[in-house]
Amino acid sequence: MNPRMGYFPGSKAQNLRNVIRLVIENLIDDPQYFCLQAIRKFAKSPQLKRLEKVRSAPLISGKLDGLVALVSEDRTAVAQYLASQKNQWNRPFKAARLADTAIAAQLWDLASEILECSPLTKATAKSKARLEFSLGNLDEAINVLSCNWNSKSRQLKHYRSELRVLETWNPVANTKKRDWELEGTTRVLYVATNSLPFTASGYTQRTHSLLLALQDDDVEVQAATRVGYPLSIGHAAAERTSIVEGITYHRLLPKHLQFDSAGRIQQQTQMLSALVEQLKPTVLHTTTDFTNALAVRAVARAYDLPWVYEVRGQLADTWASTRPGSASSSQRYRLFQAREAEVAASANEVLTLGQAMRENLEDSGVRPEKITVIPNGVGQPFTDEPVSAVDARTAVGLDPHAEYFGTVSSLVAYEGLDTLVRVMAILADRRPDLYLVIVGDGVDREVLMRLARELGVSERCIFTGRVSRQQAAKYHAALDVFAVPRRDLSVTRDVTPLKPVEAMASAIPVMASKLPALEELIQDEVEGVLLPPGDVKAWSETLEKLLIDPTFRQQLGQSGRKKVLSDRTWEVCSRKLKRIYSQ
């Protein structure tokens, strides 16, 4: 395929058409959830306050209660609103909309209860199928739609395509013979799900840091992101390429983005084939989830190229963590795990973040000699000499003489950040100069702020929202103690987060949940302190001990920094990767 023949058009008008199609498709597939995500993106607190004022107007009082509760992430208020509409549950169209609201709020049992009260119609069948699909029961979702007035719907086509991909379907790449040699200079094409500058996360920072370190190590690197990105997150003005600190990210932007899973993976495979012919890499490298690997594997086989699969998380467990316990034995969960194992076993080399994840890969059938641990690491500014707490606090507008504990994190449920708010409530009276700082954003931000209000410590809890990487480094240095209070779940037991590594590099003592993935990083009372997840009493007592013992805090911080700088820098990771590529 010739990239000049429209496979990488980057036309803004064309991008806009694709964004409009995406909006329409999402509205058809899951209208309530899509609207919630859109409002989360654009309606932050000032707009939400205006919405609440509109809601209180006499003519429409009560009519926006469900929307306001949903946007504010108040699941209790959503449940109360849905219960207040119980006299409408037997009306199919209204029941379908209410059930969709419950699904968007992850009130699974309530959604089921609403649908059981209504006759089965086209509208309620779509909602019932949406509920079954959300819980991982794919065959049930497909059966509900195919048997009830929806046999030709886009929703049904989407679900069938998803099931095909999870089972045995594979994309087909070009069969054109490779006309370049693999010897000599190493040229890497790195295929990622998303990237800077459009998405700021631990995932994108790891990708970018690895690419920068490889480039500094004289490896030719370029990257590509999944098909349709960043249009899929609303950036209609995206160009064909983005250059961030000298790293080129190619965008796979087709003329017409397919709406179903198999269609998009096939499209990604074709566009990657065109990019491979253009860039002539000597190795392909991709990351979880398996949908990226399906496309990369097909291209690697077509062009007889080696490929590396980097397993960064337990994504099936992440999905299951927001659902009932039955999700871990659901059809989707089992198929997802099996597909991940199959693609990992077929790669030339498999990378992962830590020993727990390595053991999981071995248990799934990946040969041990193919697996290399490339942990999360740090680079500048974290490898530079840490700034003083006074200077860091002054830079971010905090009182230089107060006490601060907190975290830099995605604000999601499995991080267990409610533990920190409860600790603040316990210590508030005893330590009047103590403040909790939570840096970052996510679906749990409003939940945590509401909890702080309920516990009477909202004035002692600082929620900064999302900040730049440079600002995040200053917030690390501003803390007396960094906290990682993750809940005890499959995903948190196995996956080591990036942020505590950065805190340790900043010579800040770390309190963390006693979980296998964090035990790999922190030796208890040597590089930090490990505590039972969710034990608020133990966390508050330990924090107070650390606050009154600056010598011990400094000792922990210096030990943590020494450990990270010895074996967890991106420079060390790059050397490992370069050896793998050269093999």
Q: What SS3 state is found at 96?
A: helix
Q: Please tell me the predicted confidence (pLDDT) of residue 74.
A: 74
Q: Please tell me the predicted confidence (pLDDT) of residue 215.
A: 96
Of 421-425, 536-540, 578-582, the poorest mean pLDDT is in 578-582
- Residue of 334, 332, 327, 282 lying closest to 303 (CA atoms): 282
**192 pLDDT exceeds 50?**
yes
Q: What span, in angstroms and rounded, lies between the C-alpha atoms of 231 and 248?
A: 18
Q: Please tell me the predicted confidence (pLDDT) of residue 234.
A: 82
What amino acid occupies position 385? E
Q: Please tell me the predicted confidence (pLDDT) of residue 569.
A: 96
Q: Please tell me the predicted confidence (pLDDT) of residue 443.
A: 84
pTM: 0.89
**148 pLDDT exceeds 90?**
no
Number of H helices, E strands in the chain: 26, 14
Q: What span, in angstroms and rounded, lies between the C-alpha atoms of 304 and 176?
A: 10
Best mean pLDDT range from 31-40, 167-176, 427-436: 427-436
| Interval 457-480 mean pLDDT | 95
Q: Whats the size of the chain, residue-wise?
A: 583
- Higher-confidence residue of 299 and 71: namely 299
Could you tell me what percent of the chain has a pLDDT over 70? 90
**50 pLDDT exceeds 60?**
no
**28 pLDDT exceeds 90?**
no
- Please, which pLDDT band fits residue 67 given cuts at 50, 70 and 90? low
Taking only the tens place, the pLDDT of each residue in 84-128 is 999 999 999 999 999 998 998 899 999 999 999 999 999 999 999
Across-strand partners of 307? 284
Tokens encoding 276? 């491979």
Domains in the chain (CATH in brackets) are 24-166 (1.25.40), 187-365 (3.40.50.2000), 389-567 (3.40.50.2000)
Taking only the tens place, the pLDDT of each residue in 382-391 is 999 999 999 9
Taking a C-beta distance cutoff of 8 angstroms, is the pair 437, 417 a contact? no
| Interval 130-139 mean pLDDT | 97
Q: What SS3 state is found at 437?
A: strand
SS (H, E, C) 51-71: HHHHHCCHHHCCCCHHHHHHH
Taking a C-beta distance cutoff of 8 angstroms, is the pair 173, 269 a contact? yes
**259 pLDDT exceeds 80?**
yes
Q: Please tell me the predicted confidence (pLDDT) of residue 38.
A: 65
Taking only the tens place, the pLDDT of each residue in 512-560 is 999 999 999 999 999 999 999 999 999 999 999 999 999 999 999 999 9
Side-chain-side CA neighbours of 417 within 13 Å: the count stands at 31
Taking a C-beta distance cutoff of 8 angstroms, is the pair 415, 485 a contact? yes
- Please, which pLDDT band fits residue 29 given cuts at 50, 70 and 90? low
- Please, which pLDDT band fits residue 47 given cuts at 50, 70 and 90? very low
**499 pLDDT exceeds 80?**
yes
| Interval 248-259 mean pLDDT | 93
Taking only the tens place, the pLDDT of each residue in 262-294 is 999 999 999 999 999 999 999 999 999 999 999
- Residue of 93, 100, 34, 35 lying closest to 68 (CA atoms): 35
Dihedral sign (CA 529, 531, 534, 539): negative
Taking only the tens place, the pLDDT of each residue in 359-411 is 999 999 999 999 999 999 999 899 999 999 999 999 999 999 999 999 999 99
